[in-house]
A and B are shown apart, each in its own frame.
Chain A
């Protein structure tokens, strides 16, 4: 996703001199081309995220379309007040980009786990929150963000995620993408969990459980209609995210369900408990520690769906 984002932005920037890419001293091996070929549209802010974000606003208020870029929590939590006061309040055309969402830097330690970013960013007024599910969604999202003025948080994984969408997709910010159709349960994922979610759905299908899969690439504004339809049509929703179950996709969907009239659906959140993971390891290891492998997701969903059947039978 990181590579797709940078390549897409580079191509767009060649055509649009308003686009500026500011990095917080990161991008070794991937951002050099931008720096060398478009020096007037590239800034290395150094290891200074507050200034990076404030400067981005100053440039945006001067007519630029600015992308700030760093990893994990650095472009978000480190400079949270700059994002709130400077970016959001001024409705500045600044896109805050973080790579390494979730446990992408799983061996690096808890400082590098971005597991609360979506929840924190989701609370900020005027801020669009986008977490694409795969490189294809990343490409579409990057293009659309350039054309859509205003603040955004774009949460990416790292490099080398598998492509989920094999063909072209209809991508629109704020609109969920249905990746699998099914009527037994709806699996909603955000960000890079899409691949494991689809793999879990395929596994479930072989066990006779037909899951609808929605890629909720836009966390805010949430596609409320898609949530309500899923609730009405499948009666059960499971959210899957590489993020705390507090504040992120699970919370966002729960809010919609809790206030929905005439719709009732059973509901479960899969994700990271609000804790500091006690051990480090590869992203795969960390996901397994939190029940987020395809097998574990399928198993949790199967139990959840089976429990419903049992309850219904009991009633």
Chain B
């Protein structure tokens, strides 16, 4: 099993820089949504997921489902860093003929478990994977990252009802709670509060964490499952656009691409954090 020698700090920064370059070059949206996931994804891939880029179909691998498919650049970036695709191929993101689509796409892309982009699909699929693993007596885990806006989707809650009933403690949902959805602040669009209590009430062993504190993230993933016989829910408080000052907590950066000088500025800021 090949592992990237970077520390999780380095990996998180590398992911962010790839995301900025990809979205900037492509003039694509969703950089803010990708940046909020970077620390969680870096810890997951850097420390916890069992996988093998040489054997993407290895049945015992852990599964990571990025249900918030619009944050695809962070997934493509980590997969490239892990050796699933050449780093140079990230430059093809969004371009004619590319396999790196603007939403997570599995087609011809080893390491991507499922295509997402329409919200509310990832958790049901993950739940099915967790149920299959349980019934087969397999030990791998299923990690599914959803967005806060995705908690508006009824299908997310259908799965949220099902998984605890079936005691799927091999299933982990990570909510990237960056507080901004497509057309406004979550609290103004459809307020989710109290979000952790909702998942708790549905039967998930739930923890709220700072989704940018690498040590806390690592400790949290290390405790999964939080309770035997229950699926785990991590409500990760994050900041949209995290890591690039002028993007942080701004709805604008759900849409705008960091181009030209802005890209340079964003990369310089990320570089300076070394």
Enumerate chain A residues within 8 angstroms of B133, measured Cβ to Cβ. Answer: 62
Instruction: Decide: A61 and B129 in contact? CB cutoff 8 A.
Output: yes
Quick check: is A46 within 8 A (CB to CB) of the other chain? yes
Quick check: is A64 within 8 A (CB to CB) of the other chain? yes
Quick check: is B182 within 8 A (CB to CB) of the other chain? no
Interface residues on B, range: 20 to 34
Enumerate chain A residues within 8 angstroms of B136, measured Cβ to Cβ. Answer: 62-63
Task: Give Cα distance in the complex from A59 to B130, angstroms.
Answer: 8
Instruction: Decide: A51 and B127 in contact? CB cutoff 8 A.
Output: yes
Instruction: Decide: B130 and A58 in contact? CB cutoff 8 A.
Output: yes
Quick check: is A81 within 8 A (CB to CB) of the other chain? yes
Quick check: is B131 within 8 A (CB to CB) of the other chain? yes
Task: Give Cα distance in the complex from A82 to B132, angstroms.
Answer: 18
Quick check: is A90 within 8 A (CB to CB) of the other chain? yes
Enumerate chain A residues within 8 angstroms of B115, measured Cβ to Cβ. Answer: 85, 89-90
Quick check: is A55 within 8 A (CB to CB) of the other chain? yes
Enumerate chain B residues within 8 angstroms of A236, measured Cβ to Cβ. Answer: none
One digit per residue, 1 when the CB lies within 8 angstroms of any chain B CB and 0 when it does not, for chain A 279-312 equals 0000000000000000000000000000000000
Considering the complex, which residues of chain A in the window 34-75 have a beta carbon less than 8 Å from any beta carbon of chain B?
40, 43, 45-46, 48, 50-64
Task: Give Cα distance in the complex from A53 to B162, angstroms.
Answer: 13
Task: Give Cα distance in the complex from A58 to B126, angstroms.
Answer: 6
Task: Give Cα distance in the complex from A33 to B123, angstroms.
Answer: 30
Q: How far is the CB of A259 from chain B (nearest CB, A)?
A: 29
Task: Give Cα distance in the complex from A146 to B162, angstroms.
Answer: 26
Quick check: is B118 within 8 A (CB to CB) of the other chain? yes
Which of B123, B129, B158, B159 contacts A59 (CB under 8 A)?
Answer: B129
Instruction: Decide: A58 and B162 in contact? CB cutoff 8 A.
Output: no
One digit per residue, 1 when the CB lies within 8 angstroms of any chain A CB and 0 when it does not, for chain B 98-121 equals 000000001100000111011011
Instruction: Decide: B155 and A59 in contact? CB cutoff 8 A.
Output: no
Instruction: Decide: A48 and B114 in contact? CB cutoff 8 A.
Output: no
Instruction: Decide: A55 and B159 in contact? CB cutoff 8 A.
Output: yes
Considering the complex, which residues of chain B in the window 161-181 have a beta carbon less than 8 Å from any beta carbon of chain A?
161-162
Quick check: is B97 within 8 A (CB to CB) of the other chain? no
Considering the complex, which residues of chain B in the window 77-101 have a beta carbon less than 8 Å from any beta carbon of chain A?
none
Quick check: is A86 within 8 A (CB to CB) of the other chain? yes
The residue of chain B having its C-beta at the shortest distance from the C-beta of A22 within the complex is B128
Which of A50, A63, A90 contacts B124 (CB under 8 A)?
Answer: A50
Enumerate chain A residues within 8 angstroms of B124, measured Cβ to Cβ. Answer: 50-55, 57-58, 82, 86
Interface residues on A, range: 20 to 34
Quick check: is B135 within 8 A (CB to CB) of the other chain? yes
Enumerate chain B residues within 8 angstroms of A89, measured Cβ to Cβ. Answer: 107, 115
Instruction: Decide: A61 and B158 in contact? CB cutoff 8 A.
Output: no
Instruction: Decide: B129 and A62 in contact? CB cutoff 8 A.
Output: yes
Enumerate chain B residues within 8 angstroms of A90, measured Cβ to Cβ. Answer: 106, 114-115
Given contact pairs A50-B155, A85-B115, A40 touches B59 in the complex (Cβ within 8 A): no
Enumerate chain A residues within 8 angstroms of B129, measured Cβ to Cβ. Answer: 58-59, 61-62
Most chain B CB within a 10 A radius of its CB, from A40, A46, A56, A85: A85
Instruction: Decide: A54 and B131 in contact? CB cutoff 8 A.
Output: no
Enumerate chain A residues within 8 angstroms of B118, measured Cβ to Cβ. Answer: 81, 85
Instruction: Decide: B158 and A82 in contact? CB cutoff 8 A.
Output: no
Instruction: Decide: B127 and A54 in contact? CB cutoff 8 A.
Output: yes
Task: Give Cα distance in the complex from A18 to B159, angstroms.
Answer: 22
Enumerate chain A residues within 8 angstroms of B114, measured Cβ to Cβ. Answer: 57, 61, 86, 90
Which of B107, B127, B161 contacts A58 (CB under 8 A)?
Answer: B127
Task: Give Cα distance in the complex from A45 to B136, angstroms.
Answer: 18
The residue of chain A having its C-beta at the shortest distance from the C-beta of B127 within the complex is A55
Chain B residues engaging chain A, CB cutoff 8 angstroms: 59, 106-107, 113-115, 117-118, 120-121, 123-133, 135-136, 154-155, 158-159, 161-162
The 9 closest A-B pairs by CB, nearest first: A58-B128, A54-B124, A55-B128, A51-B158, A62-B132, A48-B158, A50-B155, A58-B129, A58-B125
Write 28 A-B pairs (CB below 8 A) sorted by A numbering.
A40-B135, A43-B131, A46-B161, A50-B154, A50-B158, A51-B124, A51-B155, A54-B124, A54-B125, A54-B127, A54-B128, A54-B159, A55-B127, A57-B114, A58-B130, A58-B132, A59-B131, A61-B129, A62-B128, A62-B129, A62-B133, A62-B136, A63-B136, A82-B155, A85-B115, A85-B118, A85-B121, A86-B121
